[in-house]
């Protein structure tokens, strides 16, 4: 990484993420007290009503494949971790060996220019991230190239005309 990028990195580190609001902090502290006191209402409370483990598409995939993602099926009682949470993807990936992997970005397409409500001239750019993976199916030995593209939309103020 060259010096100018390192300088930019330092500038970014100088930007401070916004703190929790006072009311949010109070709610979280109350919640911690309730969890520690073992109040069942605390564990059931969900401000956005999520049921991510049971509802996660990834979990459904693991179950339908019948590959025994132990943590989701409750067979493994050990402590969850980041790798446990990603276990479903690993179960699928376990059938393949990754031979090669590459990611690159394609240049922007012609921007779409528009006038925002507050009078700014803005432009919408499209960028494409391409990921190419070459994998080998362990059982059959078949080699597959998987290419995925992600399209990023960038909305920014137009400064040159």
Which is closer to other proteins, CB of 29 or CB of 137?
A: 29
Which residues on neighbouring strands pair with residue 96, listed in sequence order?
137
Stretch that binds other proteins, among 62-70, 124-132, 141-149 (CB under 8 A): 124-132
Which is closer to other proteins, CB of 32 or CB of 144?
A: 32
**Residue 128 DSSP code:** E
Q: Are 142 and 136 in contact (CB under 8 A)?
A: yes
- Binding status of residue 19 toward other proteins by CB under 8 A: yes
CA-based diameter of the chain, in Å? 62
Which residue of 3, 39, 52, 143 would you call a contact of other proteins, by CB under 8 A? 52
Phi, psi of 83 (to 5 degrees): -65, -30
Phi, psi of 61 (to 5 degrees): -60, -45
Stretch that binds other proteins, among 62-70, 84-92, 137-145 (CB under 8 A): 84-92
Stretch that binds other proteins, among 19-27, 61-69, 139-147 (CB under 8 A): 19-27
Q: Are 100 and 91 in contact (CB under 8 A)?
A: no
In angstroms, rounded to a whole number, what is the distance separating the alpha carbons of residues 29 and 48? 18
Phi, psi of 160 (to 5 degrees): -120, 145
Which residue of 40, 60, 70, 127 would you call a contact of other proteins, by CB under 8 A? 127
As a residue count, the chain comes to 161
- Binding status of residue 37 toward other proteins by CB under 8 A: yes
Q: Residues in the site for other proteins, rule: CB under 8 A? A: 1, 4-5, 8-9, 11-21, 24-25, 27-29, 31-33, 35-37, 42-43, 45-48, 50-52, 55-57, 77-83, 85-86, 89, 101, 103, 105, 116-118, 120, 122, 127, 129, 131, 150, 152-156, 159-160
């Amino acid at each position: 990484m060259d010096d100018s990028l390192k300088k930019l990195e330092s500038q970014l580190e100088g930007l401070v993420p916004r703190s929790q609001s006072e009311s949010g902090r109070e709610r979280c502290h109350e919640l911690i007290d309730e969890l520690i006191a073992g109040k069942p209402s605390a564990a059931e409370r969900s401000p956005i009503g999520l049921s991510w483990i049971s509802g996660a598409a990834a979990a459904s995939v693991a179950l339908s494949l019948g590959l025994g993602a132990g943590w989701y099926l409750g067979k493994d009682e050990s402590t969850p971790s980041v790798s446990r949470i990603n276990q479903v993807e690993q179960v699928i990936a376990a059938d393949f060996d990754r031979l090669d992997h590459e990611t690159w970005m394609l240049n922007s397409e012609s921007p779409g220019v528009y006038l925002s409500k507050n009078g700014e001239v803005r432009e919408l750019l499209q960028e494409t991230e391409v990921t190419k993976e070459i994998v080998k199916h362990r059982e059959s030995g078949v080699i597959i190239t998987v290419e995925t593209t992600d399209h990023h939309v960038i909305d920014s103020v137009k400064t040159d005309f």
